[in-house]
Structure 1
Amino acid sequence: MNSTTPRRGLACVLAGVLGFASLLFAAPSQALTGETGVDRFGGCLAAQKSGQLLLLVDESSSLKSSDPDANRVKAAQYLAQQLVDYSSRTGVEIDVSIAGFSSGYRQSLGWTTLDAASLAQIDSNLDGFRERNEGNETDYWSALDGARAELAQAPRPAEGRSCQGLAWFTDGKLDFSTSDTTKPFAPNVKLDTQDGVNAAIAAA
């Protein structure tokens, strides 16, 4: 088996979920012109034979109209199933964590080795997101800040570099609600008017 097989295999795994998910490569790497996050993550896994993937799922109320059939959940479950098959074929060990976000970041499942034995637990955890569509905001800044902290606490290999990725499942609609608050990325912008909300969205 050549070293590019896991990379190509991961690209095939993600091909079926890209309508609802995007993957960001979080591991340190040299610039690779023209390569996507999937390419880089797959290349790192091919070299290191292990990695961590955070599944980040939208919980905002806009999903009631944009995703009434919970396709984001189906996509995440499909990805988990395909990654189990991928891991079995290639010998690559993948740890996953699951989190949700709306106005903030919320961990749903801590780091768990993804394999046939853990798949039912992971699938059940993801299934819980079908009804989680009541969040009053879609705050990507807070979501990514929480994800960064989560990945920083992930298990590290004894040798070699860490391969980390973030797959998030969202309708893509950045949204804040009017409230007597500010956001960390725009501390001087109050969200108590629609103009303030618009300014915060522009700053995010």
Structure 2
Amino acid sequence: MDWMTGKKLIIAVIFIAFFLLIGVSIGAVINMSDDEMKERSLKTLQDSEGRDNHYAVGLNLLDTESETVINSDEQLNEIIQNNEVTVVNFFASWCEPCKRETPELNEYALETAGSEVQVVGINIDDSAKNRDEFLDTYGVQYPVFELTDEKGMTDEFKISLMPTTFFVDSNGKVVRAYIGEIGPELITNYINYVKERQ
């Protein structure tokens, strides 16, 4: 009886060890797959040589007239010319993805302060009251502008969905564009892409 119990115990331990080993192996494969996917997406980004589905890629932002809302003594075109890469985020206070990404954009702007990368916001399709409440709620620290000719500019650059983010070189050229909520890792990848093209 004791021998049978011992045998069952040994078999149970072997099965548990076997399933633990399988679990660890699957976890390793999943983690490796995530890393490979990140590497593959960055490679795709680098291999696309600046081509993008967004109409604005290749257009120039330097002639865009704007007015400062907060956090800037410089005009938008001066900020663009004085930085290697400018991350231009179009947002509205009513936009849920904008609300989610703004804290990360704010943190990114603070972390890159003093470098040759600048985050700026352009508020569109909004009221001044709602915009100001949004900026106050999220404690936005980066420069925010509003367009002098909002309709003309949004029509020219085909900006219709919020948020939309442009990655602009020091000559004002839109090198990349991203529609939708954006996070720090993707921002860094796009910034590096723009730097490599200058």
TM-score range, shorter chain: under 0.3
Structure whose residues are more often helix by fraction: 2
**Larger Cα-atom Rg:** 2
